[in-house]
Chains A and B, each alone.
Chain A
């Protein structure tokens, strides 16, 4: 045994997460090594923190009994890319940016759009992170054709495949996606690509205040060539702006641009403006709080107003009904009230950044107590030793697991 966890030295760049600082970190370069490390950890019952680009490490519940870090950045690269087919196989630690550029060169687009320039494929899958283009790209799971995994017992397995249509067995990829690495470690993925748009143009416009105005823009988000529409508003700065990205064929973009120009004053900006807005969502501040709220489209305007009234700044994707809010609130109860209201509006609220003092009281995800038994049973079967990201994706006893 050449790589026992005990033999690992201190990592030059330790990871700080809510509840722990992890200094001993493995950085395997082959999937088989991941299996070996996990088996070893499982035998000893050592908790592992699994991570990639470190973009969303703060977006989970505090870790419990974590001994080692497992960094997947070493598993990197596009192993197979079939431009004829529009599918590729990529190692989990590969940066999204890298994949995006590689497929662009062949006329394809990667339908993964997570905030943060250092996001990796594995991290994006584990956190199911989407960006403003979710309305045209869909969910992360929609891009996944198949996954390579290492389970909590260190055994490698596969699910799905490389073809674009597949009902051969359970759709396990759906479970792994967004489970924050607690059911298995994604080491590689088959992804399906979208055709790259012939034209991409981005415009900003200054909307008026109020619900009516917001709903107007929500409807615009439904235009065929609108790939993303973001409404940003900061009550403290008194600023309000809408950014619209049009992408598609020349005719389609021209048509929608003309239609929009008749209804609003559009100012064209740099074509990568939407990427900037997206990555801004992964950056820290302003304020100690960041939350993501999802509600039904028809409820979105009212929720935005509520958040603004609380003094939070918002960055909203009205199409899918996603609101990113930041700032500060006086009490944790105010957050719980927002979550309750989001639930009543058909959705959910995830507390992506919290002041450390609030973490003990709040569950980042708002996991449903009704599913606690199923959740625990599934986790126990996929990770019998409970070593994969322990505590990170479960509601603790002292949190609001309602």
Chain B
């Protein structure tokens, strides 16, 4: 159905960004807050209205569309700024604006004392606008604009306190690592355009693609997703991105932007099912990232870094979901994750706020009884959700992904090597299930470790810091998110006859994999039982090491048993050091060579200054002739005339 008001959804936050960014510093604080919050709230209301419209419409036609204008038209390429509001993008619009509004509200409390609050809110509004464009775009080019826009906002907000060199560096790192992925994304768009002449999702959906083209495009677009969504091997920017203000970590680096890659794969499900090999890669990268993030998360001492590695790990789960063809399960986890992870991050923000900037878990402890009652309670709820010790949102959405991975038939007809005699890839799904279950165990362990270290036991921080609870503008959004983490379970409840589940809601939206109906390798109840046992096992391990009163004994015990492992984990398995050695240092060396040799010597020295020096030295010889003696000029002229006369008259 064509409508004429969809453009308001991304436009309003953009206007807010313009107002706040251009005149924000001259406005009274209350006005600026009103503008920043109202535009997002209005976007949310329009989104909600549109969502109910879409929910009423039946099946596949359930979408609102608007062609805002034709952006450009060159030769056979026509790029429209077109928006599509269907059940997937619509729900994400609600998540982005809804969670976004809560985080804006929270930021009012968190950033109130920062002198650059107006800049912060301008960036935050701009981010919401770009994210909405990314989600609503109906073609790859417009999506790429949003894709780059959120990357820009991420850079601006990670390096928000840019006078701190490490934070500015983290911002640059986030941007540059993302650029590597974006390069792949861009080439992927080119490949699709080159072979089909189309960039719109609707047109691409029906365009015939050979296996090679589909695989190349899908793989290249996935490179973009590994950058944006912090997957192996490009995940390294996300933990450092925690240098930004905590609400930013919640909004951009947990709930919305980093899930853009998952959304993109789900949006292009029709493309990915045509490239089953790439889907196997997506799922494999996803599960490896999930495991790696969880393992590193077990030894981090910075509360935000624990959550960052947890985000990396959970994003890995989402890619497992979309990689095995369970697009609904992957995106459902995206939604529930945005609730509980935003809640966790905002909770950590309240802790940092209450401890005047302290982020180190070793100087926390006992915060629940030290006054941070609301924060502790909400953090507890969100931890339950992510670890799955009780069946609320995270339990179901994660378990659905693992079950789908176990039962998938998407890889049954793939072989390990191109040779038809080599073994089939059908072992991949069950392997992913096993690794994923192990990851769930580790997830439960490190999240409970984090909760126990921060909120239980005795306070270990310096005596002069008195922990205090955050104001209501900060606790209210966290409580709402905690409630959503619980209620969110409704949309991911198992049971295929429930009409309100995400799977039912998005029926027909995603393409189906070639493998056919999933196998029933494990009864559903058994899978749930295993998931529950695993979650409790993780909790029990965490409790045995970090039970209240034991303080940091757990870490010391691990360090005693295996000092090398503990050190490696705390240093993030030396991946950053490895990248530094393999990529950053050689790049710096190359750049320095180019600067010293090519730029300074060749271009500046030889070409620029060389030309000038050549002219100057010729001139220093020639200026001897310009001595100002008119009579000598006359003599030279006379001699010249005589020579000419001789040449032309006497000899000629």
A binds B: no
